[in-house]
Structure 1
């Protein structure tokens, strides 16, 4: 099943978290590049919310176009990087100073999904639910 179908199944209460994360990791995602919008020249477009850096990622150009439209920026060019979800989570997220996750298809109210900085999605060294000193789940003795 592709990522958008797995997101729909999960949102409908019939999805499996493991399959959802697996599809996210296997999916080729389109990540817009920032261009002087305050996110850093040439970096990947993201937003800071609740102390977490969220990278915007889209399953196709249509989803990214809906995001551009929602921002009132559909009239400009949207350069992007095509990257596997696994590479985004395993290589890009660790480069961020602080917790980071991935927001997929954020302009699609019924098709969006957040992949937060937790164990099983991002490397344990970046997961907010892992105690750095012990390597165990936060709050668990």
Structure 2
């Protein structure tokens, strides 16, 4: 099953968390690049977590651009496997980081938080003992 179908099943209460994370890791995601002044990947901070934006296809990215009132500009993006995003990119972020998938899709959005089983253990907030990033 593809990631969007797993997200839909999970949101309906019929999904399996392990299958959802597995599909996320196997999916090729589109991650918009931040503007030239800030560099890196587009993200937002909420609740002390940096959320990297990722989309399952160009249509989902387009809905995000439209929701931001920026559909008329070019949106460069990186195509990356979900596994590479959490295993290689998340550890490079200063502080806790998760992935926000298809955030402009009211019924299709999903957050993959920085917890064990999703991000590497060294980045998982639920495994930290003192709140500063050190493992318990």
TM-score (norm 1): 0.90
Following TM superposition, by how much is the alpha carbon of 1:121 offset from its aligned partner in structure 2, in angstroms?
0.2
Aligned to 2:131: none
Task: Give SS of 2:99's match.
Answer: strand
Q: Give me the CA root mean square deviation.
A: 0.9
Aligned to 1:92: 89
Structure 1 runs of 4+ with >6 Å offset = none
TM-score (norm 2): 0.94
Following TM superposition, by how much is the alpha carbon of 1:113 offset from its aligned partner in structure 2, in angstroms?
0.1
Q: Is 1:47–2:35 an aligned residue pair? A: no
Aligned to 1:22: 22
What is the rounded CA distance, in whole Å, between the counterparts of 1:27 and 1:21 in structure 2? 10
The unaligned stretches of length 5 or more in structure 1 are 135-141
Following TM superposition, by how much is the alpha carbon of 1:133 offset from its aligned partner in structure 2, in angstroms?
4.2
Which runs of structure 2 are paired with 1:55-134 in the superposition (5 Å)? 55-131=52-128, 132-134=134-136
Distance 1:74 1:17, change over 3 A: same
How many residues end up aligned between the 2 structures?
131
Contact 2:31–2:77 (Cα < 8 Å) also in 1: yes
What is the rounded CA distance, in whole Å, between the counterparts of 1:133 and 1:117 in structure 2? 13
Distance 1:76 1:92, change over 3 A: same
What is the rounded CA distance, in whole Å, between the counterparts of 1:97 and 1:45 in structure 2? 14
The unaligned stretches of length 5 or more in structure 2 are 129-133
